[in-house]
Amino acid sequence: MSARRLPLLAVLVALLGALLVACGSGPKADASDGTAKNVPGLADGTPVRVVKNVKDEDVIVPADPQRVVTLAEVPLDGALSLGVKPVGSVNGRGQSGFPNYLVDQTEGIETVGSVAQFNYEAIANLKPDLILTYATVANNPEVVEILGQIAPVYYAGYAGAEWKTTFRHIADALNKKAEAEEVLADFDSYAAEVKAKLDDAGYADKTFSIVRWQGSNASLILNELPPGMALKALGLARPPNQDKEGRGHSEPVSLENLEEIDADYMFFGTLGGSSVDNPNAGGTADIAGAEKALEEAEGVPGFTQLTAYKNDGVILVDGSLWTSTGGPILMRGIVEFIEAELL
């Protein structure tokens, strides 16, 4: 993770002042009586809970978090789904702002960097009482040490984890487990309703591909990411070569094997020219960005010979919604899009 290229701990001591202490030298955090004692980011006496994170570790969190910072799209989506507006969050993956599909819900949230490069000073200045992030941060000891000196850090899930499980972890950290079950039940009911309509409309025997066009190349969004899970919830079949999980964010396809992205229908999006390490490379993740990406794809030998293209089955989508990560808002947004587009 490129966050390790950020300022070293010695520099951050000056930025965070009393919040930072040498590793292992500070008094031990305690919550034995249900209140905080020596917990970074929490005043002594603050009511707290001890919850298990995705790594099955005990984490002391405030009983009623008031100033939450989210360091990935998934916890941002999850918090907003539960009516919690973070005070700070990071830009969307490969984007120069908050995830495009969440923009209308992020007014007033401060930017604290990107998923690959956190702005620790900005995080500390927001005085958070809880930091929600993905467990991949745990692979960088320096990042863990710095964040842990600012506020309690809760690892909600891993990339590729079942989205409902991750959402339930987020809800537990926010003390909103009952509300989360209501959100999930509502989604399941809605998805079942749309699935029945799709079956009646004759889509059960069709295949659907999810493609992210990036930098003149195609990548497949497989079953491990939320968009793939959304198609599964709706009973929409993937081509056999796509009906699997894959390592990483998506699976790249060489232009020589372009037929691997084909299907009866193709949900086609982009994150512009950006990447996680270079979010300012230009382009957008919205439908306009997808239109430009399609124009580029049409110039690639073989693309216009694909079944989806020849049969007018290429459906342009918002790449931040369809080719990235998220939670209940993303999942419902995908189902709503499919319902509007196919029914």
* pLDDT tens by residue, 235-252: 999 999 999 987 656 778
User: Fold for domain 2-175?
Assistant: Rossmann fold (3.40.50)
Distances from the Cα of 327 to the Cαs of 40, 168, 225, 312, in angstroms?
Answer: 28, 10, 10, 30
Model confidence, pTM: 0.90
User: Fold for domain 190-342?
Assistant: Rossmann fold (3.40.50)
Domains 2-175 and 190-342 fall in the same CATH topology: yes
Does 172 have pLDDT greater than 60? yes
What is the Cα 113 distance to its own chain's centre?
15
Rg, the chain, Cα only: 21
pLDDT digits (tens, 9 = 90+) for 206-221: 999 999 998 788 999 9
- 222 in helix, strand or coil? coil
| Residues 222, 29: Cα–Cα separation, whole Å | 41
Short-list 317, 332, 282, 274, CA closest to 114: 274
Distances from the Cα of 47 to the Cαs of 35, 174, 319, in angstroms?
Answer: 4, 13, 41
The mean pLDDT value for 45-50 works out to 98
The mean pLDDT value for 174-188 works out to 98
pLDDT score recorded for residue 249: 61
pLDDT digits (tens, 9 = 90+) for 325-341: 899 999 999 999 999 99
93 pLDDT band, cuts 50/70/90, is confident
Q: Select, from the ranges 18-27, 60-69, 126-135, 265-274, the one with the highest average predicted confidence (pLDDT).
A: 60-69
- 270 in helix, strand or coil? coil
Of residues 284 and 303, more confidence is placed in: 303
Amino acid at 273: G
Q: Where are the domains of the chain?
A: 2-175, 190-342
The mean pLDDT value for 29-50 works out to 97
| Residues 98, 199: Cα–Cα separation, whole Å | 35
